[in-house]
Chain A
Amino acid sequence: MPPPTSSPGPHTVNDHAIEIADFNAWYADFRAIQEMNLQIPRNQVTAFIGPSGCGKSTLLKWINRMNDLVPEARASGTLRVGDLDVLAPSTDVVSLRRRIGIVFQKPNPFPKSIYQNVAFGPRLHLSTSRRELEELVEWSLKKAALWEEVKDRLHQSALGLSGGQQQRLCIARAIAVGPEVLLMDEPCSALDPASTSRVEDLVFELREQYTIVMVTHNMQQASRVSDKTAFFFQGELIETGKTEDLFTRPQQQQTEDYVTGKFG
């Protein structure tokens, strides 16, 4: 059973899941993102690429207000997810994060059973019966291409899974609450090639249902799995466009230099 989706607000098929306009972000006096304008299309994979310190992870963290935890972080401009004004003080961060799931670089399952990891979010956000919860856990694990590997040990510790399995468990945990958007911060950088390939396949499958934003340092990964790529440098968005165009005929020299490894 899929979870009830969080309310995305009215939208047309071709609109954007995330709208970023005149967006600036600071850590104390340091402006990490400058006057950024970017639209992230719904039900596509958008890759953020750029050298360390270019602002891509900062932007990702602002999309679900992770930076609320950083005392000196502040932002201005417009950042909307569907009808929701992410930066508005009145925005309920808990419900925002139900709409926007996040998967980190290093798999971070809770030190609980596989079942409890996936059930944790729905228990918090949704009113489901025990039976519905079981169906939801199964659905999420199937969606994350993990069910067949764990169905006979659902009540064993998630920490006993391999790194690749743990990362897919984190994806199952994120989708169990029915988000619209999945943010992925270098989701494969700690995984071996086979696990990386499985997560990439999964991302490809999931985009039919979710808008996915992925930060990656791996250029080949960005070119393999994303529909759209945005290149950041020193806090600015240098170029964005269809991935196949950006990797075959970038319009900006800085993009060309970065993707061909001349710097970064």
Chain B
Amino acid sequence: MTKHLHRDMDRLHRDILSLCSTVEGMIDKSMRTLIERRYELADEIINIDRNVDQREVLIEEECLKMLALHQPVAGDLRRITTVLKINNDLERIADLAVNVAERSKCLGKFPEFKIPARVEQMVQLTVKMLRGALDAYVNLDLAAARAIIKLDDDVDELNVLTIQELQGLMQRNGELVVPALHCFSAARHVERIGDLATNIAEDVIYLIDGDIVRHQRGLLSAAT
């Protein structure tokens, strides 16, 4: 690696780690708006998201510049393309954190509505997935990345059960339709965050091994 590429790679690494940390903080806050009903955090999350949007563009520009100027190969190429993808995933996760916070604010108008316990389980699992995926990226931990991908099935299953529970609730009590729809929507956003954490874990596997493992779970189960 030339000194110039080395210097740019170091800066890129610092920038993406900083974005990871910011988005992880946003997710923590947005989950607290939902589970602990800390609605005052919602505006804070929305403000941070504007900053995340700007940083995402800067990191993408930096990656494109490095690809054009240094024409990296092998590990350097995988590192830059992985950052490019994780950067995009983090920005979308930040958007979803905002969405969860907004749904939580709406739920604040219905203090009598009890958020299902499964949503809380989903939140805990999703936070664990995101944290684990980002740690796997930082530590280049292949086993951890693979473990995160497996957790996504659990989140999906909890999401299905949550939807069924909320449907039942709405059928039984018409007055709860509006808050249940807000909760339904929030759960959907949480589930999407799990999907994006999975994407990050898959990108980590590509970074370490060079293997693209996306879309293989469906194919494997279809083949068996």
Q: Is there a chain A Cβ closer than 8 Å to B64's Cβ?
A: no
> In the docked arrangement, what's the CA distance between A247 and B76, Å?
10
In which size bucket is the chain A interface? 10 to 19
- Partner-contacting stretch, out of B66-74, B107-115, B173-181, B187-195: B66-74
Q: Say yes or no: A256 contacts B71, CB within 8 Å.
A: no
- Residues from chain B with Cβ under 8 Å of A220 in the complex: 71
Q: Say yes or no: A260 contacts B75, CB within 8 Å.
A: yes
> In the docked arrangement, what's the CA distance between A202 and B41, Å?
63
> In the docked arrangement, what's the CA distance between A261 and B72, Å?
9
> In the docked arrangement, what's the CA distance between A191 and B153, Å?
56
Q: Is there a chain B Cβ closer than 8 Å to A248's Cβ?
A: yes
Q: Say yes or no: A247 contacts B73, CB within 8 Å.
A: yes
Q: Is there a chain A Cβ closer than 8 Å to B40's Cβ?
A: no
Interface residues of B in 197-224 (CB under 8 A from A): 209-211
Q: Which of B1, B209, B210, B211 contacts A260 (CB 8 A)?
A: B1
Convert A224-264 into 0s and 1s, putting 1 for each residue whose CB lies closer than 8 angstroms to a CB of B. Answer: 00000000000000000000000111100001100111100
Determine how close the nearest CB of chain B comes to the CB of A19; give it in whole angstroms: 28
Q: Say yes or no: B5 contacts A256, CB within 8 Å.
A: no
Determine how close the nearest CB of chain A comes to the CB of B204; give it in whole angstroms: 14
| Shortest Cβ distance from A249 into B: residue | B210
Q: Is there a chain A Cβ closer than 8 Å to B77's Cβ?
A: yes
- Residues from chain B with Cβ under 8 Å of A255 in the complex: 74
- Residues from chain A with Cβ under 8 Å of B73 in the complex: 219, 223, 247-248, 259-260
Q: Say yes or no: B210 contacts A262, CB within 8 Å.
A: no
Q: Is there a chain A Cβ closer than 8 Å to B2's Cβ?
A: yes
> In the docked arrangement, what's the CA distance between A248 and B78, Å?
7
> In the docked arrangement, what's the CA distance between A191 and B72, Å?
23
Q: Say yes or no: A256 contacts B2, CB within 8 Å.
A: no
Q: Say yes or no: B74 contacts A248, CB within 8 Å.
A: yes
Determine how close the nearest CB of chain A comes to the CB of B17; give it in whole angstroms: 21
- Residues from chain A with Cβ under 8 Å of B211 in the complex: 249
- Residues from chain A with Cβ under 8 Å of B5 in the complex: 261
Q: Which of A220, A248, A250 gathers most chain B CB within 10 Å?
A: A248
Determine how close the nearest CB of chain A comes to the CB of B78; give it in whole angstroms: 7
Once A248-B210, A249-B209, A249-B210 are accepted as A-B contacts, the answer to whether A260 and B74 lie under 8 Å apart by CB is yes
Q: Say yes or no: A261 contacts B1, CB within 8 Å.
A: yes
Interface residues of A in 95-150 (CB under 8 A from B): none
> In the docked arrangement, what's the CA distance between A261 and B3, Å?
10
- Residues from chain B with Cβ under 8 Å of A262 in the complex: 1
| Shortest Cβ distance from A258 into B: residue | B74
Q: Say yes or no: B71 contacts A250, CB within 8 Å.
A: no
| Shortest Cβ distance from A256 into B: residue | B74
- Residues from chain B with Cβ under 8 Å of A223 in the complex: 73
Interface residues of B in 1-41 (CB under 8 A from A): 1-2, 5
> In the docked arrangement, what's the CA distance between A80 and B215, Å?
44
Q: Which of B72, B74, B209 contacts A250 (CB 8 A)?
A: B74
- Residues from chain B with Cβ under 8 Å of A256 in the complex: 74-75
> In the docked arrangement, what's the CA distance between A219 and B209, Å?
22
Q: Say yes or no: A259 contacts B74, CB within 8 Å.
A: yes
- Residues from chain B with Cβ under 8 Å of A248 in the complex: 73-74, 77-78, 210
- Residues from chain A with Cβ under 8 Å of B210 in the complex: 248-249
- Residues from chain A with Cβ under 8 Å of B2 in the complex: 261
Q: Say yes or no: A260 contacts B72, CB within 8 Å.
A: yes
Partner-A contacts on B (CB < 8 A): 1-2, 5, 71-78, 209-211
Q: Can you spell out 21 A-B residue pairs with CB atoms less than 8 angstroms apart?
A: A219-B73, A220-B71, A247-B73, A247-B74, A247-B77, A248-B73, A248-B74, A248-B77, A248-B78, A248-B210, A249-B209, A249-B210, A249-B211, A259-B73, A259-B74, A260-B1, A260-B72, A260-B74, A260-B76, A261-B1, A262-B1
Partner-B contacts on A (CB < 8 A): 219-220, 223, 247-250, 255-256, 259-262
- Please give me the 4 A-B residue pairs with the lowest Cβ-Cβ distance, nearest first: A249-B210, A247-B73, A259-B73, A260-B76
Q: Contacts A248-B73, A248-B77 given; 9 further ones with Cβ under 8 A?
A: A248-B210, A250-B74, A255-B74, A256-B75, A259-B74, A260-B1, A260-B72, A260-B74, A260-B76
